[in-house]
A and B are shown apart, each in its own frame.
Chain A
Amino acid sequence: DAGVIQSPRHEVTEMGQEVTLRCKPISGHNSLFWYRQTMMRGLELLIYFNNNVPIDDSGMPEDRFSAKMPNASFSTLKIQPSEPRDSAVYFCASSLRRKEKLFFGSGTQLSVL
Chain B
Amino acid sequence: GESVGLHLPTLSVQEGDNSIINCAYSNSASDYFIWYKQESGKGPQFIIDIRSNMDKRQGQRVTVLLNKTVKHLSLQIAATQPGDSAVYFCAESDQTGANNLFFGTGTRLTVIP
A residues sitting closer than 8 Å to B (CB atoms) are 4, 31, 33, 42-43, 45, 48, 50, 55-56, 91, 93, 98-99, 101-107
**B32: which A residues are within 8 A, CB to CB?**
99
Interface string of B17-61 (1 = CB under 8 A from A): 000000000000000101010000111111001000000000000
* Docked complex Cα distance between A31 and B100 (Å): 10
The answer to whether A55 and B98 touch across the interface, beta carbons within 8 angstroms, is yes
B residues sitting closer than 8 Å to A (CB atoms) are 32, 34, 36, 41-46, 49, 89, 93, 95, 98-101, 103-106
**A99: which B residues are within 8 A, CB to CB?**
32, 93, 95, 99
The answer to whether B46 and A56 touch across the interface, beta carbons within 8 angstroms, is no
* Docked complex Cα distance between A103 and B46 (Å): 7
The answer to whether B99 and A48 touch across the interface, beta carbons within 8 angstroms, is yes
* Docked complex Cα distance between A80 and B67 (Å): 45
Known: A48-B98, A48-B99, A104-B44. 8 other contacts (CB 8 A): A48-B100, A50-B99, A55-B98, A98-B99, A99-B93, A102-B34, A102-B46, A104-B45
Identify the closest chain A residue to B95 (Cβ).
Answer: A99
CB of A53 to closest CB in B, whole Å: 12
